[in-house]
Amino acid sequence: GGDVLIAGGIPLVTFAAIFLAERALSHGGGKAAAAKQLGITFVVVAIVVQNLFLLLCVFLAARRKRRNIRQLLGLVPLKWWHILGAVALGLLAGPILSWAVELLQVALGYERRTPGAEILAPDGFSWAAFVVMVAAAGVLAPITEEVLFRGIVFGWLRRKTSLFPAILLSAAAFGAAHFQPDPGEAIAHMTYAFGVGLFLAYVYQRAGSLWASIAMHVTINTIAVSYVYLSLREGAQLDQL
């Protein structure tokens, strides 16, 4: 347990520092405001640099403790049908959670919005932006978040407590990491991330491998990116999503 905390401490502190820097950069308007101000090139570069740096921190911390990174994070090989099952669950869970969040927004009197649309496509539609954002937000970001929140946070909680509290607390941490200053955006981002976190922790526990939750998370994020860009291609505006 201690090794997991040590291996995770540096990247988690770094994640918190980057989180606070993003808020300062956007002058209190959240990631969406920063994305609108700075455009897709900055957003993609920021995603790539942030995630690669966090993964490097995990790798170096594990090397420092002389721990096998795959053993530490639960990167156990899976059969192909387990991966397909995780992908199938992601195909179901992503749209269902998006629908549930939209209903919650309306019930609380906020404008119904797709979480993260402005961040994913700050400059509108282009095929190049679509492909790059799928790679950055659809693939790279989920890998990093699974390493941090399921591999490290959930893994540590699972050693300290029973399954249900570990799932709940790790999902709450994942939701909190998606905080936005605007109340409406906060409801959308944090509730959606909390729901996704519940599914991902369960899948990780059930499969016994981080690859399962990575596959599911990549599926969910890729669906979200695809929905935003294909909607824009069909003529929708960002403020309509």
Confidence of residue 5 (pLDDT cuts 50, 70, 90): very low
Question: Which one is predicted more confidently, 140 or 47?
Answer: 140
Confidence of residue 25 (pLDDT cuts 50, 70, 90): very low
Q: What is the pLDDT of residue 67?
A: 73
Q: What is the pLDDT of residue 6?
A: 46
- Give the pLDDT confidence of 205-238 residue by residue, as tens digits: 999 999 999 999 999 999 999 999 999 999 888 7
Q: Of 29-33, 45-49, 105-109, where does mean pLDDT reach its minimum?
A: 29-33
pTM of the model: 0.86
Residue 203 has pLDDT above 50, yes or no: yes
Dump the DSSP string for the chain: -HHHHHHHHHHHHHHHHHHHHHHHHTTTSHHHHHHHHHHHHHHHHHHHHHHHHHHHHHHHHHHHTT--HHHHHT-----HHHHHHHHHHHHHHHHHHHHHHHHHHHHTTPPP--TTHHHH-TT---HHHHHHHIIIIIIIHHHHHIIIIIIIIIHHHHHHS-HHHHHHHHHHHHHHTT--SSHHHHHHHHHHHHHHHHHHHHHHHHHTSHHHHHHHHHHHHHHHHHHHHHHHHTT--GGG-
Q: What is the pLDDT of residue 182?
A: 81
Question: Which one is predicted more confidently, 117 or 137?
Answer: 137
Q: What is the pLDDT of residue 33?
A: 54
- Across the range 70-85, mean pLDDT stands at 89
Q: What is the pLDDT of residue 170?
A: 96
- Give the pLDDT confidence of 177-200 residue by residue, as tens digits: 888 888 888 888 899 999 999 999
Q: What is the pLDDT of residue 18?
A: 52
Confidence of residue 147 (pLDDT cuts 50, 70, 90): very high
Question: Which one is predicted more confidently, 132 or 53?
Answer: 132
